[in-house]
Structure 1
């Protein structure tokens, strides 16, 4: 610990012994540093805040709303792109004197470091530009910072508000051209399909359609055969009833006798069967019993001379004729379906190449038709969206803080730089005095002499100073104090000038 204390004393003595060198170096470094600080141009910062309203109720109702957050992110990331910054440079004073592409690219790269677009919230972001050009005055730099931010806002309006509508119009024009091309292709495909269907009507719609037709024909033929079987069964039943029914009935003087009652009951039974009632139906069962009873009574009464036509027989013959006609119609229908089914099976089995061609034509036509309909839907959706954005859309860019001309520089921090230069200057003076002391062969303390040569020091002789020497030394101390005070005063004066000049832009 004592060695460190001795070294510190030695260093302080060495610096104090060469204090004029230290103060001279401090003055030189400070003056040079303060001159450099004064030559640094002031940089002025202008800001604007933009609010993006992503609530678009009408667009959501129409199903054409986009993702507002993605739109904000896209705007924030592309607003400070090289393309937009190039527009800023060419339309402001930043582009003065730039004639070559390399110089323009360098200016864009420099401006990119000075322009920031930062998000404060999900739908609120800030545009900041800092300008400090040495060839411009403070007032010009301040105005230029405002102009840069204002130009970015103009680009925002042009490209992301007005430009979005222009983009929709351009997209609609592109869709119109595509629709015309698809329409011509669709018409050609339709002509090919019609020509093929005229040559091969059975293959309309392709082999899939042919298979469906075969299935439909088979199902219809099965249904007709079932109906024909039911009709033939009904015809056989009515034929059996006719064979058991007499053509005539005997007539007598008493029109109200058993024969007349039997004839009436048989007529009633024929009417019930003509209505389609089966023999198990209660009415038919009851009428059959009545007919049987009347038949026994008529037989017991004996046959009268002569006879009359049996109305029941005539009714059954009429029913048989009707059912015979129905059977013949179903047979004709079955024959037609069998012929059609055979033709379809022949087409399906004998012409695979034609079936494949039918599939290709049908598939191409369906694809072209679906694409055409989709393009029509997309065009109508874009038209609707364009009208909504023009009249009722709530998706808006609102500037809630207009860029202004800054009244004080944002950089550099001159007071801090001036203080830093002062500290560096004082440190440089101390270092210079100490370094010169290390180059001399003298020793500041007896202890350092003893450690250096590893020999005992017998004693030290004190310096005796006369009155005249003391007066001279006192005078020099005052001069040194004046030099130190002058350095501090210079620092204070520069600070005062800085604080006075920072109050406004001239």
Structure 2
């Protein structure tokens, strides 16, 4: 422990003994360091925050979802610092002053890209910041330039989301119109081929449907008719069963003339139907005629006293006549469908090449027609979407914090650097004085002398001065203290100058 204290005292004595060397080195290092710090230009940063509103009920209704708009905004955010946009910023601000060659513009764009940052704080909140560092500009001009850069970036952000989106929509509509024109020409050519084929083979044309389609339609119709006939036959059998268990007349005197009265009423109904213009082939007329024939038979069999006809029986007969007429109509339709199917099958067998050609032409036409209709529908949807985006502005911007005017530089931290240079200068002076002391051949303590010669040291003679020597030493100490204080005064003046300069910017 004592040896360490001796070493420390020896080092302090060596530095103090050469204090003028230490002070000179400190002055030199501080002056050079402070000049270097003064040469570093100040960097001023301006920030702004933008809020993007994504909710729009009308846009949602036509398919412009919030996710689509958020994806577009993210794309714009990522491409905002592209070379093209940064070149716009350079040309619209004083950064472009003095740029005459593409190489200078490329260098300026690269430097500006490092100075601009676009951060997404939330899904719809963005922060744009820009740093201006130019040694050719004053601090006030540099701060103003940072604010102008951020404002220009906001303008580009808005332009890319509005005008850029409209431009993309216009290009998309132009592409869709071109595709529609091509499909229309192909569709017209297909129509001409089909018309020419139908003129040569009129037997294979029917409203644009192919032979295979018509044949399949006839088969489908036959299957439906068979099912309807089976249902009509079942219903008619059920009515016949009910008629078999229902008496024709009720016992007792005929209150209304019996079957003869019913016959007269049925004849009146038949006359009324014919007066309405219904022909004898009409199902209602057929049913009325059948009812009249049955009632005539009953009236002929009825005795003189007669009996009261059963209304339920008469109603069931009418229903049976109607069912029979429906069944007969279905059977007639089935026969016509069978004839049509046989005719189509005969055409297909008689001319298979023409049938195959008709099928191919019809298939090509149907495919082109479907494509054309789909493209037309998509184009109209895009046109409506473009109108909504242009007129209603589905994406709305709001500048929450306008570009700030920097009050103080963000870099460098000049007061801290000045203090650091002072500390480094003092440390360099002490280290220099200590190094010079190590190069000399003297001994500052008796312990070092003993260690060097290997013999015990009996004593040491202290240095004594007379009055003149002490006066000279005191005078030199005053000079040293004044020089040291001057170094501190220069440091304080530099700090004061820095804060005064910041006040002038604000």
Instruction: Give the TM-score normalised by structure 2.
Output: 0.73
Output aligned runs, 1:300-319, within 5 Å.
none
State yes or no: 1:141 paired with 2:130. Answer: no
Aligned residue for 1:503, secondary structure, equals helix
Partner of 1:43: 43
Contact 1:161 1:397 in 2 (8 A): no
Higher mean C-alpha displacement, 123-132 vs 474-483:
474-483
Output aligned runs, 1:107-126, within 5 Å.
107-126=108-127
- Structure 1 CA distance, aligned partners of 2:491 and 2:360? 92
Partner of 1:12: 12
Q: Give the superposition deviation at 1:177.
A: 2.9
Aligned CA distance change for structure 1 residues 404 and 337 (closer, same or farther; 3 Å) = closer
Contact 1:85 1:111 in 2 (8 A): yes
Q: Give the superposition deviation at 1:214.
A: 5.5
Q: Give the superposition deviation at 1:8.
A: 2.9
State yes or no: 1:91 paired with 2:85. Answer: no
- Structure 2 CA distance, aligned partners of 1:332 and 1:496? 115
Partner of 2:462: 463
Aligned CA distance change for structure 1 residues 28 and 400 (closer, same or farther; 3 Å) = same
Q: Give the superposition deviation at 1:149.
A: 1.6
- Structure 2 CA distance, aligned partners of 1:227 and 1:401? 79
Aligned CA distance change for structure 1 residues 437 and 386 (closer, same or farther; 3 Å) = same
Aligned CA distance change for structure 1 residues 436 and 157 (closer, same or farther; 3 Å) = same
- Structure 1 CA distance, aligned partners of 2:364 and 2:21? 98
Q: Give the superposition deviation at 1:215.
A: 2.5
Contact 1:93 1:144 in 2 (8 A): yes
Q: Give the superposition deviation at 1:86.
A: 0.9
1:219 pairs, out of 200, 219, 223, with 223
Partner of 1:298: none
- Structure 1 CA distance, aligned partners of 2:353 and 2:9? 112
Aligned residue for 1:463, secondary structure, equals coil
Aligned residue for 1:408, secondary structure, equals coil
Q: Give the superposition deviation at 1:488.
A: 1.1
Aligned residue for 2:52, secondary structure, equals strand
Aligned residue for 2:397, secondary structure, equals strand
Q: Give the superposition deviation at 1:98.
A: 1.7
- Structure 2 CA distance, aligned partners of 1:334 and 1:412? 99
Q: Give the superposition deviation at 1:211.
A: 5.8
- Structure 2 CA distance, aligned partners of 1:425 and 1:357? 100
Aligned CA distance change for structure 1 residues 273 and 97 (closer, same or farther; 3 Å) = closer
- Unaligned stretches of 5+ in structure 2? 238-258, 268-286, 305-323
- Structure 1 CA distance, aligned partners of 2:455 and 2:358? 122
Q: Give the superposition deviation at 1:132.
A: 1.7
- Structure 1 CA distance, aligned partners of 2:228 and 2:50? 78
- Structure 2 CA distance, aligned partners of 1:337 and 1:62? 47
Aligned residue for 2:131, secondary structure, equals strand
- Structure 2 CA distance, aligned partners of 1:377 and 1:124? 36
Output aligned runs, 1:128-277, within 5 Å.
128-197=129-198, 199=201, 200-201=204-205, 205=209, 209=213, 212-213=216-217, 215-216=219-220, 218-219=222-223, 275=290
- Structure 1 CA distance, aligned partners of 2:492 and 2:484? 13
- Structure 1 CA distance, aligned partners of 2:431 and 2:406? 42
Contact 2:52 2:124 in 1 (8 A): yes
Q: Give the superposition deviation at 1:353.
A: 6.2
Q: Which structure is larger by alpha-carbon Rg, 1 or 2?
A: 1
Higher mean C-alpha displacement, 100-109 vs 352-361:
352-361
Contact 1:58 1:393 in 2 (8 A): no
Partner of 2:104: 103
- Structure 1 CA distance, aligned partners of 2:458 and 2:210? 126
Partner of 2:248: none
Partner of 1:78: 79
1:95-129 deviations in Å (ceiling 9; x for gaps): 12222222211111101111111223321212211
Contact 2:225 2:330 in 1 (8 A): no
Q: Give the superposition deviation at 1:410.
A: 2.9
Q: Give the superposition deviation at 1:32.
A: 0.9
- Structure 2 CA distance, aligned partners of 1:55 and 1:223? 56
Q: Give the superposition deviation at 1:75.
A: 2.9
Aligned residue for 2:48, secondary structure, equals strand
- Structure 2 CA distance, aligned partners of 1:409 and 1:228? 97
Higher mean C-alpha displacement, 216-225 vs 423-432:
216-225
Contact 1:51 1:125 in 2 (8 A): yes
Aligned CA distance change for structure 1 residues 367 and 471 (closer, same or farther; 3 Å) = farther
Q: RMSD between aligned alpha carbons?
A: 4.2
Q: Give the superposition deviation at 1:81.
A: 2.0
